[in-house]
Amino acid sequence: MASEKTGPSFLDKFAEVSAKVGNQVHLRSLRDAFATVSPIYILAGVAVLINNVLFPWIFGGDAETLAKFQTWGASIAQGTLSFSAVILAGIIGYCLARNKRFDNAISCVVIGIASLIIMMPQTIVATAGAALHAASAVDKTAAPLTVPMKDLILNFPPNYEISGVDVTGVFSSSYTGTNGLFGAIIIGLLATTLFIKLSSIKRLKVNLGEGVPPAVADSFNTMIPMMLTLSVFALAAALLSVFFSTNLMALIATGISAPLKGLMNAGPFAVIIIYTFANLLFCLGIHQSTISGVLVEPILTMLIVDNMATFAAGQPIPQDHYMNMQIINTFALIGGSGCTLMLLFDTFLFSKNKASKDVAALSLLPGIFNINEPVIYGYPIVYNLPLIIPFVLVPDLFIGLTYLLTNLGLISPCVAMVPWTTPVFISGWLATAGDFRAVIWQVIEVVLAMAIYLPFMRISERVQAKQAEALKNTDSE
């Protein structure tokens, strides 16, 4: 008698390792934080589309009226995109505290935001405008003077002009906004981790006794750990500024942010590899966001947020931002992970299996809005080898082809973050700011995915029929 093979299989080990990665507290907190702030990015995307597509179409002939209406979208961009790093730092602090089951999670919001601001440069170089505004240093009631910049530089040597001025008392939106997101992640996680660690030391707590309101008691319990945490970051900021004439935000932007973004855009291969494993994991019953949600989606989300800010400023989208989260949601997850909406279409048109048709009927409406758990667990796709192949293959194919078409200029880059539940065709039009070529590409994707799924669906139904027949024969014996 042959000995049975014992021990976990490769797939079991893969699922176990993936689950551990997805449950790592810092990565999970990062995923939760981006899920929490995603509504403001979606709102920013809607505002950018209205400001840069709808309003110019309505008021194209009246520049003055157009500028007045665009104040609405600019205000939303100011409070979302231009302040996104500050918001994210606070939310990361809260999510990490909650996942670590820290009692005073709200104090971690303060720690995250304050630490981020501390690490920002205290003096920035701003681009000089067209005029210099001056006020009397003695008479505060005197009318201010406005001097054109061209008059100010008359005494400069030939061929010189003012390129920038040192400004204090302000923050650059380069660090409070989209370019500061990586800094917000790192500082938010580090500051909150240090604060929670210090808060666990009983000697650092201030006990006011009983009868004190809980909010007051909590504030005193965390007062010394909070002061120590912020002092540590202030010391780091001072050392970087005094001895190296730099700041942590700049170091993160050049040493971490740029390389990671470059990795995501060095062709679509890194994204395809990760989504291959993520979708394979889904076929084993573990949600794909366990891998993709913690490894690539935060970076890809930053790239689409960058694109929104660039598009709002009227600038062209750089090629190194063509790969972003919206390409995944809009073109590679049609109907949800694995593009299973097209499997449902195949089932309605070509299937003779009543059980499959019943599942498809129940799954169609959620599938239109990119919710496909009923298909994955009900059809099923989980542990269904014939359907696992297209489930993993189709998204990879569409990631690569969409990236290629964008680079060739055949469809516009994604410039707006739209809700992931937006139905196909509408999503392509919105994400690319009204490019109908993107909609045509989605139509082609639907047809192509149906063609890929069809033979595997038929094989799956034959396997199910043989399994049912074998079970029937076993029961009759």
Q: For 71-105, how does the pLDDT look when each residue is reduced to its tens digit (9 = 90+)?
A: 999 999 889 988 999 999 999 999 999 999 998 89
**What does each C-alpha distance from 455 to 154, 336, 351 come to in angstroms?**
77, 20, 11
Query: What's the mean per-residue pLDDT of the chain?
Result: 86
Question: What is the value of pTM for the model shown?
Answer: 0.78
The per-residue pLDDT string of the chain (477 residues; one tens digit each, 9 = 90 and over) reads 444 444 556 656 666 666 676 678 888 898 899 889 989 999 999 999 999 888 998 987 788 898 899 999 999 988 998 899 999 999 999 999 999 999 889 999 999 999 999 998 877 777 777 777 788 878 778 888 887 877 777 777 877 777 777 777 777 777 888 888 889 999 999 999 999 999 999 888 777 666 666 666 667 778 899 999 999 999 999 999 999 988 898 898 888 888 877 777 767 888 999 899 888 888 877 777 767 777 788 889 989 999 999 998 889 999 889 999 999 999 999 999 999 999 999 999 999 888 889 999 999 999 999 998 889 888 889 888 899 999 999 999 999 999 999 999 999 999 999 998 999 999 999 999 999 999 999 999 999 999 999 999 999 888 887 776 776 666 555
Distant-in-sequence, close-in-space partners of 345: CB < 8 Å, separation ≥ 6: 446, 450
Backbone region of residue 381 per phi and psi (left: phi > 0; alpha: psi in -120 to 50; beta: other values): alpha
State residue 263 phi and psi, 5-degree precision: -65, -40
User: What tokens appear for 75 in the block?
Assistant: 């205000």
d(C-alpha 4, C-alpha 23), whole Å: 32
Which amino acid makes up residue 137? Answer: A
**What does each C-alpha distance from 425 to 43, 96, 333, 432 come to in angstroms?**
20, 37, 12, 11
